[in-house]
Each structure stands twice: as structure tokens, then as C-alpha cells.
Chains A and B, each alone.
Chain A
Amino acid sequence: MIKRLSLAIAAMAALLVPAAASAQVIRQFTRKDLTIQVDPALSYIFYRTQAQAPMIFIREPDAADRADWRKARDAALEKARRKYRNELHTYESAMWTWNRTPSSARAGLVKPVAPVEPTEENVVSPTMEMITMTEGRISPAFFKAKPVFGFLIAVKPGTYSIYGSVLMTGNGFGGICLCMGTVKFDAKPGEIVDLGIFATHGVAVGGPFPRMEPYGHPLPTELRPFDGPPPAPLQGLPVHPAVLRAAGKFPNYFGVTIDRIHPMQGVLSYRRDTIIDERTGQPLANQSGTAD
């Protein structure tokens, strides 16, 4: 059994090549970063985990993101139209031949298929989530004080939702998304926002599905404040606890295991799968995490 697990891990390791998906982390700090210079134009997200884990955030788009998205989409549409014109020419030539081929001689031939004209609606281009998705990689850690791992990433200022712990590789994805409910926070320029610690579901804190074995997923789904001083390199710097608020549901972009963040007093709770904004006691106005 152990051998089989080792093989599985080895297979995973073999697949760990750089992710193809874009991920907007400007810098991920390491244990060698003993002195942190805070750039007033950037924000910093600091979090801890109970197991070394990746963490995916999705930033709400700003005007620059929208412009980037528009530019990428226009470019994709133009490229698709150029390709379409070539395909259409080929198709028309093939149909000219087809129409002049007697029915008796068409046996075994395949009638040409008209290409689909690209439009604003059907063109495939980078999604907004691909532009704003921000990945805290599984490594390097900013500090290791087992069983706690710390991570520090420099990011573009904005409002971020915690999407989940998804390992993104060039060969595929694995992990867990908080697709059925999560939280968001503001990352302000020149500040380090401290999320606290992601507790590991099913190992340290139990959970609503503690009996899901063998489907258990001891992955981080609870976020709670961390009781203790920040690590030495962050002391004296503008570190602020995150002000969390309820965010809505997200699609399972990566086809991974789904879950939701644990209820947080004063932040969010659930009525069945309806997300309740604990600040108002009412259902979240927009249950979609990507729409506000």
C-alpha cells in the first residue's frame, strides 16, 4: 500500500511542470527573504497553512483587467477570422469538386463540412479569471515551523476571493475549490494583509463530512485568525488582519473536488447551500462569487 502511494506521489512529481494557466503573483517570498521591502505600489498577502499547500485567489477585475481582456479577445477574434477565411476558401474549393462529382463516384468520399464563422459569442480567448487568477504556489514557503507553513506573496492591489487549494501544473490540476462558498478581502497598496491560518479539513478540525473516507480530502477549508506574532521579517511592517466578508459561489474551473469554507462568525454562514452574509443576517445579495 505504502509502495502504491509512493508511486502515486512519484507520478504526481513527474507531472509537476510549470503551469500553463496564468497566475498573477508578482513575487513569492522564500525563507531567504529575511528583510522585506514593502513596495507602496503593491499589496502583500500573508497566510499560514497546516500543511504545505497551494492557494488560489481570484481578484475582482479593474479597468486595466477589462482592457486586457478586451484586447486579448479582439486579438483572438481577429486571428480566428483570418483562419476562418482560409478554411472557407478550402471548403468552397472542396464543395466545387464535390458538386461536380457524380453521385455514383462519391462512395467512400466525405462531404466537406463548412467551417463555423467565429463571432463575438463563440470565439475562445483568455477568460477574465485567467487574467485575474492569482496563485500562491505550494513552494517556496516563506517560513516553515512545522506543522505550520507560512506564505507571503506580492500581488496587485485589489479585492481577492479565496478560490481554494489547487495545484496547477502544465499537465493538470488537483486539489480542492471552495466553490460553494468562500470569503473575500481587500489587499491595499503598501500593506501586508494577514489572512490567518488555513486549517486542514478532516484532520485538525473535522468537518461536515468527516465520514467521507475513502473520499476524504484533508485539505484546507477553514480559515481562522492566527494567535501569535508575525514572523521576524514582517515585524515592524504594516501587517493588518484581513477584513473578511462573504463571497459567492465559483465554478469548478479545474474539475477538482468541491467544498466550501467553514462558517465564520460575523462573516458568513449557510442556510443549506445559501450563503448568508453574517453582517446583515441575510442571504448574500449575489450568490455568484464572480459577479459583483
Chain B
Amino acid sequence: MRSRRWAVALAATATFVAPGAWAQDAAPAAANGPATGTAAATDAPPQVSVEDRGELRIDPAKIQVPDINFVATPEIEANFDKYFFFWREGTDFETALADIRECDDYARGASYHTAYTNPYMYGYGVLPSAIGGAIGSAIADAIFGSAARRRQRWQNLRICMGYKEYGRYGVPKDAWEQFNFSEGNGRISERRRQGYLQQQARIASGARPGGKVLEP
């Protein structure tokens, strides 16, 4: 029974990674999930340029963030497992950005330890995408699909930020789409990704949100 349960869980959590998903981040912006379909999402430029090798030269005051205050309704709350943000008391912007980038790396897999984060590598000039290069999963992708990938991204972000003891807060979908992105089978460009992560870090290190803290 347990082995069957394990198999079910494995199937549920499996992310069968297509070669494209492990390749360099060159997918067109239009290939992203539904959350990038709004005007705010597709047009959003990086808020502030980021220098090479993770050196932070960002003025958080210049980062535009949407209004995240809202009147909760049952319909809005029903989607809080997908549309949420993180906030932690006493956290500065640089710390929040480093945390969010680390969790984003975990959520998108090994190929995406970027210049912004510690790649946790041996220092052999490793290109981790080489592991991904061994994968071929067009069939699996067709079975499990983009939705499963998006769900796993949410899950990994919640686990990672939960261990970092950030509180999770719900937000309406339209506001969420202004500072977040979904990733299914497609990939968002690195430039836009970093812009969104900076917005999230600004919120995570900003004023205490008005809503209630959700389960991790």
C-alpha cells in the first residue's frame, strides 16, 4: 500500500524536464504561462539593472510595486494556494532578494543557478545543464503538462521560503500578475525574471502586509 502511495506521490511530484527546460534561458517571453499574459506582465522591464556576479547596486526605493491591499472575498481566497507573496519582519532588501533568488533557483532546477546566487558547485567549471542534456521527456511532458510544472514551482517556493521563515500572504490574481510569473513548459527571460524577483524582494522587506498569514 505504501509503495503504491509512494508511486502516486512520485507521479504527482514528478517534473519530467524537457530538454528545452534545461537549456539556456532563451525561450521567447510569449512561451510563458498564463500569468504573463497581462499587459503589466509582458511589458514589465527590470526595475533596476543588475551588475554581473551578483553585486547588488540596486536602490529598492526605485522599484515599483503594485498595490497589494484588497478586500478579501471567498473567490479571491480560494486561489491563495497559487497567488501569494512572502514577507518577513526585520528583513532588509538585500537579504530578501538573496533568499528569493535562492528559492527561485530551487524552483527552476539546477540549470538555473545564475550569476546572482551561489551555484553550490565543485568549482570545476561545471555546466549543470549537462545533466539536463541527458533528458528527453517530450512524452512525459505531454502527460503531466505545464500545469504540473507550475504547481511544483509554487510548491518549491513555499517550502524554501517557509524554511526561511517568511510568512505567506494571499493576493488577488490581477495584483499577483504584476510582480510574479508562472513557469510551465516555457521559460521567462532572465531580464524579466530578475525584475520580478526584485519587486518581490521589495515587498518581502517592506511594510507589514495587512492580510493574515497563511499556512506555509
Q: Which residues of A contact B (CB under 8 A)?
A: 5, 8-9, 11-12, 15, 20-21, 50-53, 61, 66, 69, 73, 120-130, 146-147, 149, 167, 170-176, 179-180, 200, 203, 208-209, 211-212, 215-219, 248-260, 270, 272-273, 288-291
Contacts and interface: CB of A to CB of B under 8 A. Distances in A.
Given A9-B8, A124-B127, A175-B14, A270 B151 contact: no
For the residues of B in contact with A, the DSSP-based class is helix
A218 B14 contact: no
B16 A15 contact: yes
B14 A256 contact: yes
Contact of B216 (A174, A212, A252, A288): A212
Given A217-B12, A257-B15, 16 more contacts: A9-B4, A11-B140, A12-B14, A125-B127, A125-B130, A172-B17, A172-B135, A172-B137, A203-B5, A208-B216, A216-B9, A255-B152, A257-B156, A258-B160, A288-B121, A289-B120
Given A252-B109, A272-B165, A167 B10 contact: yes
Interface residues of B, number: 62
Given A124-B129, A128-B124, A176-B13, A258 B156 contact: yes
B163 A270 contact: yes
A249 B133 CA distance: 23
A218 B6 contact: yes
A215 B81 CA distance: 10
Contacts, number: 206
Contacts of B14: 12, 167, 172-175, 256
27 contacts: A8-B12, A9-B7, A11-B140, A12-B14, A15-B16, A20-B136, A51-B6, A123-B127, A127-B131, A174-B10, A174-B11, A175-B13, A203-B2, A211-B216, A212-B155, A218-B6, A219-B6, A252-B107, A252-B156, A253-B109, A254-B15, A255-B15, A255-B132, A257-B13, A257-B152, A259-B159, A273-B160
Contact of B134 (A21, A176, A179, A257): A21
